[in-house]
Structure 1
Amino acid sequence: MTQVPDQPTQKRQRGRPSRISREAIARAALEIGVDQATIPAIAAHLKVDHSSLYHHVAGRNDVISIAAELAINELDWRAPAATDWRSELIILTDAIWTLYERHPGLAESIHQASVTPSSGIRSFAESVEKLQQKGFSLDEAVLAVDILVDMVGECFLGWWSTTKPEADGRTRKERIIAIWEDEATKLPDKAEQINAMVDIMKVGARKWWERKRDLVLAGIAVTHAQKAGGSDKVQT
């Protein structure tokens, strides 16, 4: 079982062992949803008085931090040793997308630097090391992992924000599509290009992200082959 370090903010009283811990609080936050994980909500979820949580956490920011730590620690992102570098990066970014999808609010917390999980830093370093073992220089590997990790977060957040409801009951995505379709009607000479983007919005976030990812991977393959003196075959 993954352990979350127990760092209570106050000394515990002698007597009956506590029914709650930092790990229990972190799991409760993930079960509720990071975006909904307030101290009162977690206390209700655990069926304890909310004041008792402060024996284990300093506040909501501490809760989000340990929840992120736990979620990343338990994320299945590692590829088999024989996996080629391209598949390695696809498996990594697929896992990150799944992480954000599974835990609403986590992507926002990480990308706004509200939390900086040490497990995330270790995973980043390990991903870079795996590319180095497959022939990438340190600079190449850092750049490749950084670009894709940033992109998957930004793409997820961009599309996730469009699922929020508007005052009229429509989602933000539906409103944006309607605006673009209206512009296509007003600009018939540009309708083909505008409607192409409308089609993308209708297909959904994951498909569009995968196309962006594949374009970046193709670019990484070209530059890696050039840096290797053309000795590596370009993976497509």
Structure 2
Amino acid sequence: MRETMWSFSNIRRTMFEKWGSLALVQGRGRGRPSRVGVEQILDTALSMGVDRLSMRSLAARMKIGVSTLYYHVASKEALLGLLGARILERFRLKLDDPSKWEDGIVATAKELRMVFELAPGLAQSAMVDPRWERAIVTLHEEGCSYLVRAGFTPAEAWLSARLLADFVEDYVVRTEAHRRAGCSDLEHASRMGGRTLRAAQRELAKNHHERRFEVGLDCIVRGIRARRLARSGGP
């Protein structure tokens, strides 16, 4: 079977039409033109992270006036929309035959993690901010339709896709929190706890974040597979 591209060109087009035109049309007339362009604005905003983003902080980072920033981007909401389109440009998956769905969801989880880590705070924002709802719903639809082609019922597909997204979002949010604190939960627990926790820290060393992701993802895949086998009466 030909390899299919999980492409988000339509999402990018929709989001740009919804937000990009707002930014570039309504933004004109405020401030004054400059050599700063939208691409530079988006790159700088991504490097700052969604969690720290404000129009004033972005203008300060770029060493331009806030009015100059508003000349290019009408509002923070418009900026977030453009950032969503930019992020989705980097979220492209080549999915094999749906019969290889296990490889597909593993690849999806790794790609989603990479996208979240490109923009600190995005995972937390995706959990609670309704401005990301359109993109998230579209991603769920794409993921669920792939699993339905693999033989899942729509309900099973949604539950599996949501479980995967919950895991990745939670992992990234926790890892970001540990980085800010300068100490992971395992490191903190091993200092406060007994021999077992200290032994776990020694065994995992500095690799415990990666191992947590690998083990969690493996458990999810195995669990989904086991449920499907039980429903089909397989071995």
Q: Same fold, TM exceeding 0.5? A: yes
Residues 204/128 of structure 1: CA separation in 2 closer, same or farther (3 Å cut): same
Aligned to 2:101: 85
Question: In 2, distance between residues paired with 1:24 and 1:178?
Answer: 39
2:4 maps to what in 1? none
Counterpart of 1:103 (choices 105, 108, 119) is 119
1:180 match: 190
Q: Which residue of 2 aligns with 1:215?
A: 219
Bigger Cα Rg: 1
Where does structure 2 lack aligned partners over 5 or more consecutive residues? 1-8
Question: Superposed, which structure 2 residues align to 1:1-236 within 5 Å?
Answer: 4=16, 5-8=20-23, 10=26, 12-13=28-29, 25-44=41-60, 48-81=64-97, 84-113=100-129, 115-165=131-181, 171-173=182-184, 177-184=187-194, 191-192=195-196, 195-196=199-200, 199-200=203-204, 202-230=206-234
The count of aligned residue pairs is: 218
Alpha carbons 2:112, 2:168 under 8 Å: kept: yes
Q: Quick one: structure 1 residues 229 and 20, their matched pair in 2 at CA, closer, same or farther if it must change by over 3 Å?
A: farther
The one-letter amino acid of 2:125's match is: S
Cα distance change, pair 20–228 in 1 and its aligned pair in 2 (3 A): farther
Deviation of 1:155 after TM superposition, in Å, equals: 1.4
Secondary structure of residue in 1 paired with 2:143: helix
Q: Secondary structure at the match of 2:85?
A: helix
Q: Distance in 2 between matches of 1:205 and 1:223?
A: 27
| Residue ranges of structure 1 left out of the alignment (5+ in a row) | 166-170, 185-190
- Letter of the aligned partner of 1:43 in structure 2? A
The root-mean-square deviation of aligned C-alpha atoms, in Å, is: 3.2
Q: AA paired with 2:190?
A: W
**Structure 1 residues 160 and 201 mapped into 2: Cα distance closer, same or farther (>3 Å)?**
farther
Q: Given that residues 159 and 205 in structure 1 are in contact (C-alpha distance below 8 angstroms), is that contact kept between their aligned partners in structure 2?
A: yes
Task: State TM-score, norm by structure 2.
Answer: 0.76
TM-score (norm 1): 0.76
The structure with the largest helix share of the pair is: 2
- Identity of matched residues, %: 22
